[in-house]
Amino acid sequence: MSRDLPKKPLHIVMAASEAVPYAKTGGLADVVGVLPQELIRLGHEVTVMLPGYRSVLESLPTREITLHFTTPVGSVSREGTLEEVCVPVGDGLSPLKIVVVRCDPYFDRPGLYQDEHGDYHDNLERFALFSQAVLRWIRYLSERDGRSVDVLHLHDWQTALCSVYLKAGVRGLAIPGVKTLLTLHNVGYQGLFPGEQFPVTGLPDALFSPRALEFYGLVNCLKGGIVFSDAVSTVSQTYAKEILTKEFGYGLEGVLADRREGIPGIVNGIDVNVWNPETDRFVPASYSVCDLSGKKICKRLLQRELGLPVRSVPLLAAIGRLTYQKGFDLLLEALPEMVLLDVQLVLLGTGDRDLEERLLEAQSAYPDCVAVRVGFDEGLAHRIQAGADMLIMPSRYEPCGLTQLQSLRYGTVPIVRRTGGLADTIVPFKPSTVRANLATGFQFDTPTSEAMLSAILLAVSVYREQETWCSLIKAGMKADVSWVRSAAQYEQLYRTVLSSPT
Ligand code: GLC
């Protein structure tokens, strides 16, 4: 009987350091930009809390101040405000509330975490203050109008300290009834700071211990979150297993393995309205799984835009941050052999200076085969997804990955390293998967240029068998890469966390 009763809508607060379209350096922003909307569609009330970076203040000008706060940070006191704004998410749906934590000396800067000299020296102060402000707002809500928050959903190290403040209960920040879920988007980034900086957090000294935030003499924010959150999740099932190993756990594998109830992996979706080849305003010709002719036009125009010869050779694309994680150095290594295959390669990304330079040199060395665009260009990213034949993701590790999901939707066949979310979202080309029309891409195991090259070689030979290639494209375009299923999984996880004893 009780099973038929409608489930109570939840009040979820999502605290994060990035969200599209307000502030973005990586995939985290895409997740926090879209998941809340899908949860609202499921009937829940969702509030997103963001630091008041310059880009946030500029893109959300009509905020209302709800609360003034003062927080001691080490020997100084910082003043700030909590400012609310409601953003419509769709007809007939309640709006999304965004609460901006404004503290201009910390956040009104050009970058999110760093400038051209490196990371901001006060990042621990900045995110400790942000985390405390999140809890102040939740406390204020319950005091002002008795409205309780069910789940505080945290993302990555920048918000992990919220769980520590809640459990430690310092500065009146223990709020009964609030459960926390910490989602790990990348265990390679932990928020590590010199041990001497610990006092700026205002946490009791006893928490600077190996069972809490101490990590080889450093402060480790992510570790604190993993130890003190009610639940911890990550963004694919394979990554959830990988982070329990030395190779992927970056020193936290033991702490992660200590979580008794395990770490579920929920793969991300993408915004299927923004990434839709039938309606995409950035691409020159629209197409769909029923009529792919527009994709050919997109390819020709992309080759022209990039200054590559307009030829019917396989056009491979690589898009993303130029970091060690993404493995683009393997592409560079493989380039002399790749060009012998008579393929073209377009690469769009920004990051590591040395890699940027080497890629630009490669472009000069092979101008007819290689086009490199350094920077962040949303429109070009869409045109590449629409015009390319294949996407290559040689990641050393990839918690989920979003680019391959965009590729599936655009009929661009992914060639990926079998790791994390890449292993979970791409059905590899094999006789059995091809026969069943299930294959959506190619996978390789070791992060070496040789392994990657053999996968590219296989993909290029399949590309020439039109019918098989078309079945790969179609299976990919039909795959569900939306947030619908994943949002329902998060809802389930929230309810599990809520019903678990504290
Ligand atoms: C990080 C990960 C990426 C994941 C994204 C969103 O950027 O590196 O794999 O897709 O977070 O969860």
Q: What's the pTM? A: 0.96
Residues, the chain, total?
Answer: 502
406-427: pLDDT as tens digits: 999 999 999 999 999 999 999 9
Q: Which atom of ligand 1 is nearest to the CA of 399?
A: 9
Q: Yes or no: say if 109 and 120 are a contact pair by the CB < 8 Å rule.
A: yes
341-361: pLDDT as tens digits: 999 999 999 999 999 999 999
**268 in contact with ligand 1, CB cutoff 6 A:** yes
Q: Yes or no: say if 23 and 53 are a contact pair by the CB < 8 Å rule.
A: yes
**382 in contact with ligand 1, CB cutoff 6 A:** no
Distance of CA 17 from the midpoint of ligand 1 (Å): 14
Could you list the beta-strand ranges (E) of 131-220.
151-155, 179-184, 192-194, 214-215, 218-220
| Closest residue CA from atom 5 of ligand 1 | 27
Distance of CA 251 from the midpoint of ligand 1 (Å): 19
Distance of CA 39 from the midpoint of ligand 1 (Å): 20
Tokens matching residue 176: 């009964």
44-99: pLDDT as tens digits: 999 999 999 999 999 999 999 999 999 999 889 999 999 999 999 988 999 999 99
b/e per residue 270-283 (b: at least 16 CB within 10 A)? bbbebbbbeebeeb
Token pair 């599209």: residue = 20
307-338: pLDDT as tens digits: 999 999 999 999 999 988 999 999 999 999 99
pLDDT above 70 covers a percentage of the chain that reads: 99
Closest by CA to 374, choosing from 385, 362, 360, is 360
Residue-level pLDDT at 502:
66
218-268: pLDDT as tens digits: 999 999 999 999 999 999 999 999 999 999 999 999 999 999 889 999 999
Q: Residue 2: is its pLDDT beyond 60?
A: no
User: What band does 500 get if pLDDT is binned at 50, 70 and 90?
Assistant: confident
Q: Yes or no: say if 231 and 225 are a contact pair by the CB < 8 Å rule.
A: no
Token pair 């792919």: residue = 292
Tokens matching residue 478: 């039909």
Distance of CA 419 from the midpoint of ligand 1 (Å): 13
Distance of CA 490 from the midpoint of ligand 1 (Å): 17
Q: Mean pLDDT score of the chain, rounded to an integer?
A: 95
Amino acid at 140: Y
What is the distance between the alpha carbons of residues 421 and 188, in angstroms, rounded to a whole number? 15
The CATH number for 11-269+484-499, chosen from 3.40.50.2000, 3.90.180.10, 2.60.40.10, 3.30.70.520, is 3.40.50.2000
Closest by CA to 355, choosing from 372, 376, 379, 337, is 372
**399 in contact with ligand 1, CB cutoff 6 A:** yes
**222 in contact with ligand 1, CB cutoff 6 A:** no
Residue-level pLDDT at 144:
81
Residue-level pLDDT at 249:
98
Distance of CA 381 from the midpoint of ligand 1 (Å): 17
Q: Residue 20: is its pLDDT beyond 60?
A: yes
Distance of CA 26 from the midpoint of ligand 1 (Å): 7
| Closest residue CA from atom 7 of ligand 1 | 27
**320 in contact with ligand 1, CB cutoff 6 A:** no
Distance of CA 221 from the midpoint of ligand 1 (Å): 18
Domains 11-269+484-499 and 293-478 in one fold: yes
Q: Which atom of ligand 1 is nearest to the CA of 398?
A: 9
CATH code for the part of the protein at 293-478: 3.40.50.2000
**126 in contact with ligand 1, CB cutoff 6 A:** no
166-208: pLDDT as tens digits: 999 888 898 988 999 999 999 999 999 999 999 999 999 999 9
Distance of CA 184 from the midpoint of ligand 1 (Å): 9
Q: Which atom of ligand 1 is nearest to the CA of 28?
A: 6
Q: Yes or no: say if 306 and 371 are a contact pair by the CB < 8 Å rule.
A: yes
**185 in contact with ligand 1, CB cutoff 6 A:** yes
**411 in contact with ligand 1, CB cutoff 6 A:** no
Distance of CA 64 from the midpoint of ligand 1 (Å): 32
Distance of CA 267 from the midpoint of ligand 1 (Å): 10
Residue-level pLDDT at 1:
45
Residue-level pLDDT at 123:
98
Distance of CA 161 from the midpoint of ligand 1 (Å): 20
Mutate to test the pocket of ligand 1, among 31, 156, 319, 400 (most ligand atoms within 8 A of CB): 400
Q: Which atom of ligand 1 is nearest to the CA of 325?
A: 8
Q: What residue ranges do the domains of the chain occupy?
A: 11-269+484-499, 293-478
Distance of CA 325 from the midpoint of ligand 1 (Å): 11
**400 in contact with ligand 1, CB cutoff 6 A:** yes
Mutate to test the pocket of ligand 1, among 18, 35, 185 (most ligand atoms within 8 A of CB): 185
Token pair 């769909």: residue = 288
What is the distance between the alpha carbons of residues 416 and 431, in angstroms, rounded to a whole number? 18
Q: Which atom of ligand 1 is nearest to the CA of 183?
A: 12
Residue-level pLDDT at 170:
86
Q: Residue 457: is its pLDDT beyond 60?
A: yes
Token pair 């604190």: residue = 224
